[in-house]
Structure 1
Amino acid sequence: MLLYKTPKAHQELAPGSRSLNLRERSLLLLAEGTPYAQLAQMYHGQGEALVAQLLQAGYLAARHAEMAPASLAPAPVPAPPAPAMTLAGTRMYLFDMVERLFANRQQAMASQLRQALREARDVQALRSVCDTLLQAVAEHAGAERATQLSQQLIHLVPDWSLEPHE
């Protein structure tokens, strides 16, 4: 089952409209022909409940891949443009993660990561911020928590390996 934004979701994501929390908005950003299972895995098991709420509230519409109209199905795109949409969704997800993990206790780290995310305009820059974020998580919450978060990021961007890079 693939999830798509409804007109109500597009209205919510427009500037000036804020009736949903950051987690709900980040899920909406990622829903553009995204498999249900991928979104449901987010937020440590809370993703499924959030997706269900967004479906029930009319922000998301579900379609089976074989039943999706051609106009609503994601069009095949060349490799370079695809990361741009994923990049924006990933940045939103990372902003939310920074807020949840560092804003209250590690304000300097949160500020540094927020600024780095604002400046990250390509996959390599975002990867660098992600590495810094995961290192900070390992320092403050332990290596196991950092590993869990890296696994979430792999689900968020399946083609983007979080293995050490050169």
Structure 2
Amino acid sequence: MLNKTQKGRAELRPGQRQLAQRERALLLLADGRKPDAELFALFEGQGPTLAADLISRGYLVDEAPPPLLTPANTPPTVSADAFSGPRSLASARMYLFDLSERMFAPRDKAMAQRYRDALRAARDVGDMLAVSRAMTADVERLAGSERADGIRERLARLLPESALETP
């Protein structure tokens, strides 16, 4: 179950607006008592993505007790948490478009437009990876290495595994 962190509670105080409206709405509803599925249902399929982003940025924490592991359901050891959606360039592209709108558009409209254009023009794995590297470098410059690392991990879960092998 999702709950606000101290940073999340500070965001909800008057005059603290750093998040978009949908992010603030999820943050407001996350109280550590509602099941994730109940919260996510209110966000038309965007709930898991919004929550993952707020968790990676330190606004929310997942307080769900870990499931009991048996040999049949023991997950493989990976550095990033499990992603249950389809891995595809299209998923990664949509994530990067969304990131551009949330991260760059409010601060630098020209930068956001450059990234939108670059994402539209990216036709293969190499182009997509080049755009993602440039975006995460700018995220690191604007929001810090922790935020950029979270985005890199999310991309690693969205991109096809064959893309991760590309130099």
- The bucket for the TM-score relative to the shorter chain is 0.3 to 0.5
TM-score by length of 1: 0.48
TM-score by length of 2: 0.48
